[in-house]
Structure 1
Amino acid sequence: MGTLKFTVLYLILLLSSKVTSNVGEWQSATATYTKEIDGSIITEGACGYGDLHKISYGKYSAGLSTMLFNKGSTCGACFEIRCVDHILWCLQGSPSVILTATDFCPPNYGLSADYGGWCNFPKEHFEMSKAAFSEIAELRADIVPIQYKRVNCERAGRLRFTMSGSSHFYQALITNVGLDGEVVAVKVKGSKTGWIPMARNWGQIWQCNVNLTGQPLSFEVTTSNGKALTSYNVAPANWQFGQTYEGKQFK
């Protein structure tokens, strides 16, 4: 009887789900968890973040299905998630947890959407860290119905810019972004250049084909809510690839 009830609820979720990125609106989806050794997601993933513990995303992080991932634009966004409508698997009181989008959950069309193909298009699904999942549901559950909503990200410290690439192929990974956390546009400025629009390489790694070595660098970062933040002289003239520098923070 419990299995039948879960199946019916799950089908209702599939039929009623809608894609939205509006902060504050509860939407229906499903969730599973990864079985990392320490209960966290520590792999690099599809957002380019590297070791998630170093940027404080490790324990409270999730991979998103295609519908939610939005080609990497959603990387860094924060979601509040709660398990709902399953008396067997959801923890009493439906506690919620706040996660950061750090990875892509790829579809598996060799499996049905009901049994294993959780991230098949057009499903909305979160592949959570084990530690975060255990705060809303029983770990014995393979998959649970959830509700989620976009929330502002509470970040300690400032925006971080990690340099990579080469002299003529400059890249910057942007992390620890406050407010809605979703970066949609970036510009960089050297002491010898004007403002240069950067293109998304993948995830939250941004690029431009300009030689910026030997110049102090400034950045303008715009999030999906339309707010732009300019940080001047983030990196000194002797900045190095592989190093991380801090700018201002959204408030």
Structure 2
Amino acid sequence: MRKRQAVVWCHSGKPSIFITANNFGPPNYALPNDNGGWCNPPRPHFDLAMPMFLKIAEYRAGIVPVGFRGVTCRKHGGIRFIINGFRYFNLVLISNVAGAGDIVHAYVKGSRTGWMAMSRTGSQTPFWWVRLCPSESPPVTSWNIVPSNWQFGQTFTRKNFRV
């Protein structure tokens, strides 16, 4: 990622930073598509950690137009599944994803069910298998992820995407 335009408080030259994890800001359609609606389309918005932001601009710069591109990620180890939740729902955090790093679709399969699409709020039943579909690679299916004696707070690791 690097800044695109000269902004009064940007550092001179073409400083670049590498981001390994990011969070696109969610849009707020109640605000206009200007400085009030920072994250509204067509303006993707990154919330950078302060040390990274200070590499490209001074603190007082506020919004800084940047250019960015995605690159293929090589990850050490497998995809991690962290399971939290409560007895009525499961929350599954999927991390350490190789390739483009994004997951377009995720599906879960129980021991007595078919494949079910996961939603952003988690799955409602304990599961044994997960199928992940990234944007730039074929799907990967992880079998027998969760043992029958699983507990909330556990992390399970399975094979990663080939890049």
**Common fold by TM > 0.5:** yes
* Structure 2 counterpart of 1:174: 94
Change (3 A) 1:117 1:125: same
* Structure 2 counterpart of 1:193: 112
Deviations 1:170-199 (Å, cap 9, x if unpaired)?
442211211111112223344x33552232
Residue 83 of structure 1 contacts residue 91 of structure 1 at CA under 8 Å; is this kept in 2?
Answer: no
Is 1:102 the equivalent of 2:23?
yes
Q: Secondary structure at the match of 1:132?
A: helix
Residue 24 of structure 2 contacts residue 46 of structure 2 at CA under 8 Å; is this kept in 1?
Answer: no
Is 1:152 the equivalent of 2:72?
yes
Residue 187 of structure 1 contacts residue 195 of structure 1 at CA under 8 Å; is this kept in 2?
Answer: no
Residue 22 of structure 2 contacts residue 47 of structure 2 at CA under 8 Å; is this kept in 1?
Answer: no
**Counterparts of 2:29 and 2:104, CA distance in 1:** 28
| Structure number with higher strand proportion | 1
**Counterparts of 1:108 and 1:134, CA distance in 2:** 29
Deviations 1:29-55 (Å, cap 9, x if unpaired)?
xxxxxxxxxxxxxxxxxxxxxxxxxxx
Q: CA deviation at 1:151?
A: 2.0
Residue 106 of structure 2 contacts residue 130 of structure 2 at CA under 8 Å; is this kept in 1?
Answer: yes
Q: Secondary structure at the match of 1:128?
A: coil
Unpaired segments of 5 or more residues in structure 1?
1-80
Residue 97 of structure 2 contacts residue 160 of structure 2 at CA under 8 Å; is this kept in 1?
Answer: yes
* Structure 2 counterpart of 1:233: 144
**Counterparts of 1:111 and 1:118, CA distance in 2:** 9
* Structure 2 counterpart of 1:223: 134
Residue 99 of structure 2 contacts residue 137 of structure 2 at CA under 8 Å; is this kept in 1?
Answer: no
Q: TM-score, normalised by structure 1?
A: 0.54
Residue 153 of structure 1 contacts residue 180 of structure 1 at CA under 8 Å; is this kept in 2?
Answer: yes
Unpaired segments of 5 or more residues in structure 2?
none
Residue 167 of structure 1 contacts residue 210 of structure 1 at CA under 8 Å; is this kept in 2?
Answer: no
Residue 86 of structure 1 contacts residue 144 of structure 1 at CA under 8 Å; is this kept in 2?
Answer: no
Residue 145 of structure 2 contacts residue 156 of structure 2 at CA under 8 Å; is this kept in 1?
Answer: yes
Change (3 A) 1:141 1:170: closer
Q: CA deviation at 1:211?
A: 4.8
* Structure 1 counterpart of 2:9: 89
* Structure 2 counterpart of 1:113: 34
Aligned length: 161
* Structure 2 counterpart of 1:136: 56
Q: Secondary structure at the match of 2:38?
A: coil
Greater than 6 Å deviation, 4+ residue runs: none
Q: Secondary structure at the match of 1:160?
A: strand
**Counterparts of 1:94 and 1:113, CA distance in 2:** 25
Which amino acid in the other structure matches residue 181 of structure 1?
A: G
* Structure 2 counterpart of 1:210: 125
